[in-house]
Amino acid sequence: MDGRTTGWFSYLTLAAAISTAGCGFNQQSRFQMSFLPPAPRSGPAVELPEPPPTEPNVYLKADDPSVLAATTAAPSIPRRKSEADITIQNAERAYQRGRRLYQSRDLDGARREFDRAIDGMLDAGGQDPSDRVEIERKLEEMADAIHRYDLEDFGAGASVDQPKFEKAPLEDILQMTFPVDPKLKDRVQAQVAATVSQLPLSVNDTVLGYINYFSNRGRRTLLAGLQRSGRYRPMIQRVLDEEGVPQELIHLAQAESGFFPRAMSRAAAGGMWQFLKWRGNEYGLKQTAFTDDRMDPEMATRAAAKHLHDLYREFGDWYLAIAAYNCGPLVVEKAVERTGYADFWELRARGVLPAETTNYVPIILAMTIMEKNAAEYGIEGFQMDAPLEYDTVETRGVTSLALVSDILDVPVTELAEMNPSSLRGKVPEGYPMHVPKGTADQLMAVVQRIPANHLDAWRVHSVLAGETLAEIGRRYSVTAANIAAVNQLENEQPQEGDRLLIPAAPRAEPPARKATRSGSRTVTASRRGPVPSRGASTRRTATSAARTRTTRPSAIVARNTN
């Protein structure tokens, strides 16, 4: 993390301060925070002569029983605000001011407001125990949100218009060999003899060399891949089983990509399972102006399982199938024809396979042996990332992830991580889009009220205290009159907490930038590094407790849990 984002406040210092104040981070945050992208830097307001008709604004009007079921409830006497209510309200306002400043790239101003929000709750005193519990709960949520904001280096304001690719972590060791620890051989052979595996397991000096490597110098690489595997492991195991492929071949994804969905190789193979475009196309992995199916973990896993199954049917041997997956079936076919041996180890000994391929199979075997004997290698009970869980919806038109972020109050970076096949921050019409588990109905209820041909440009804006339509319009380069018309506002002064549809005009598509190398990493010309990962204990997520919740009307969606 560079100097731009160091600060905000020290998370560990904050934790200590909270402990001193009598509260702590003992409870998993139940919400997640969304941060709106920044306004365009310049450009005149775009006048839309006649905004397309929309349904009545679901946020401002309570006349739709399918949206606000609470309107049918009997009226109740408003509860008098407690001291805790006032403390939380003031902190929330400071937080929202900080969020707005952050979106405008005023980082110093945002830091001041974030600190003011936290300090206000830390300094709160005199509350009765029940009020104190509520303040502690809100403090934890807000601290989580600001911490995530800091970790994500511009959070949802970060551009997702250009894809960010990661180099496969094992790419550089495929042509290397490593020394063998003489003490390993007998121990590993005993382990293999007692191991149950769908994939036949062999032990020789090459396999032992890689076990030695992953036990020492390569341990961090092995553990990092195992940690990331938790996100996709249930899905991969299910697909491999459905396609009749040994479960142990999950380690191909670890060797190919380290479970990075956007891994790219020197040869332009892409995705978790490293398909070249033409090979991926054979198995249904297509590319469009907005998407690359090779980057979708489930689509690519299905394609890889089918391809491996086809290779096994051709060669009748899993080692040859794995080798063919790496170098291509034609290379293996010619090696078998030249030598007359349909045995991987014989072909390896005769030097008729590419050097990278000769080590590829031993790497898979080494990883398999180590994971199946985790206690022997000190990786038993290793904490994996939590499985990704999501709903899947099909879009009615080209849909911006920024709009989905607005509606669901989820950071754009989190949506981008959930949809790694989206290359420009948009998903084409009819394409499966993943959203956080349990949010599909909420999304569809709002998306259905936006014209399909505007889903790539329109936004949803949460009104902050004191904001006017003119200020909001300048932010999105639209006029106040257009915002009022689309939302059927009777007057032009929105209230704090209102959520408005913003009829923003489409942006010009940025030119595609060629991926280039920078050191040992594959990056785009504009930005380096992968989407920040989830699951580490310090990367907790939270959303605003003030998020407006509605009763969601039913919608037809396809759900998938991974």
Residue-wise pLDDT tens digits, 447-487:
999 999 999 999 999 898 888 899 999 989 999 999 999 99
Which residues on neighbouring strands pair with residue 523, listed in sequence order?
516
Q: Please choose, from the candidates 504, 404, 398, the residue with its C-alpha nearest in 3D space to the C-alpha of residue 447.
A: 404
Q: Are 307 and 325 in contact (CB under 8 A)?
A: yes
* Cβ burial, residue 315 (10 Å; 0-12/13-18/19+): buried
pLDDT of 513 over the 70 cut: no
Cα separation, 414 vs 418, whole angstroms = 6
Residue-wise pLDDT tens digits, 10-65:
433 444 444 444 433 333 332 233 333 333 344 444 444 444 554 555 444 433 43
Q: Which domains does the chain have, with CATH numbers?
A: 1-30+82-157 (no CATH), 39-81+388-455+459-503+532-562 (no CATH), 166-377 (1.10.530.10)
CB neighbours (10 Å) of residue 217? 11
Q: What confidence score (pLDDT) does residue 129 get?
A: 64
Which stretch of 92-106, 259-273, 278-292, 320-334 has the lowest confidence by average pLDDT? Answer: 92-106
pLDDT of 151 over the 60 cut: no
448, two tokens: 């259905």
Q: Looking at residues 99-127, what average pLDDT do you find?
A: 74
Cα separation, 55 vs 476, whole angstroms = 21
Residue-wise pLDDT tens digits, 383-419:
899 999 999 999 899 999 999 999 998 888 889 999 9
Instruction: Provide the mean pLDDT of the chain.
Output: 75
pLDDT grade for 310, boundaries at 50, 70 and 90:
very high
pTM, two decimals, is: 0.65
Q: Looking at residues 177-201, what average pLDDT do you find?
A: 87
Q: Looking at residues 488-515, what average pLDDT do you find?
A: 74
Q: Looking at residues 425-439, what average pLDDT do you find?
A: 94
Q: What confidence score (pLDDT) does residue 114 get?
A: 85
Please tell me which residue, 386 or 491, carries the higher pLDDT value. 386
Q: Are 32 and 541 in contact (CB under 8 A)?
A: yes
